[in-house]
Structure 1
Amino acid sequence: MRNLLALVVVGLIVYTVIDVVRSDERERLGLHKVLWVAFIVLLPVIGSVTWLLVRRTPGRRPGPGPGIRTVPQAPLAPDDDPEFLWRLEQERRRREREAGGAGPTSRTDPSDPTPPAAGPPADPADPTPTS
């Protein structure tokens, strides 16, 4: 029985050391690999259990393994899509101009089909000239 317990502890140490070495900085809570390995080797049971608890905390999803690239995902909802929001704002401004009978007050042309390169739509109340 005593030998089985020692074998389990050694297996736990080996598993957690390999897991620490293969982890990224985000999973290690910003600590260096050497510090985690030293903690696990010096305090085998406490260090290994602590690593397993820190590594498996809810709310943090582990990223892809080494060598795997992630592809940026498209927005899941229309209100997450900057191009959709830009078009919606242009349509709202066009309706306001048509309803009010006033001339164009916006610095952006609503008939322009291309969205701005980056950033939020221009604010018509902002007196700062652009370009």
Structure 2
Amino acid sequence: MIKGFLAVLSIALTVFALADCVQTENDKVRGIPKWAWVVLVVLLPWVGPITWLVVGKDRQDGNGIDRPRRDGPTAPDEDPDFLRRLDEDIRRERRERQRREQGEQGPDSPSGGPAST
């Protein structure tokens, strides 16, 4: 029973490590070339997959957090310059709207200007 469980666990670990190795970009592979990692993972049960998972792949970003790397443009809601310009545009439109509303409500209208008795 235990031998069967260990065999299935070994196969699952090997398949997982092999899939991870094959899908890893070449610039993230550490130590030896990717093809050598594939051979190591397949031919050395337990040792190959565990070694790949521990040291074979550069899993961390520069600050120690594993996150996807973006090489292309960022989304507009993540761009600080875009957000700043958007905020300035909204404030300018509000000021213009207030000026128009104040211009429509002349000093003689009941809600604009001094109250007449």
TM-score (structure 1 length as normaliser) = 0.45
Of structures 1 and 2, the one scoring higher in RCO (CA 8 A, sep 6+) is 2
The structure whose residues are more often helix, as a share, is 2
* Larger radius of gyration between Structure 1 and Structure 2: 2
TM-score (structure 2 length as normaliser) = 0.49
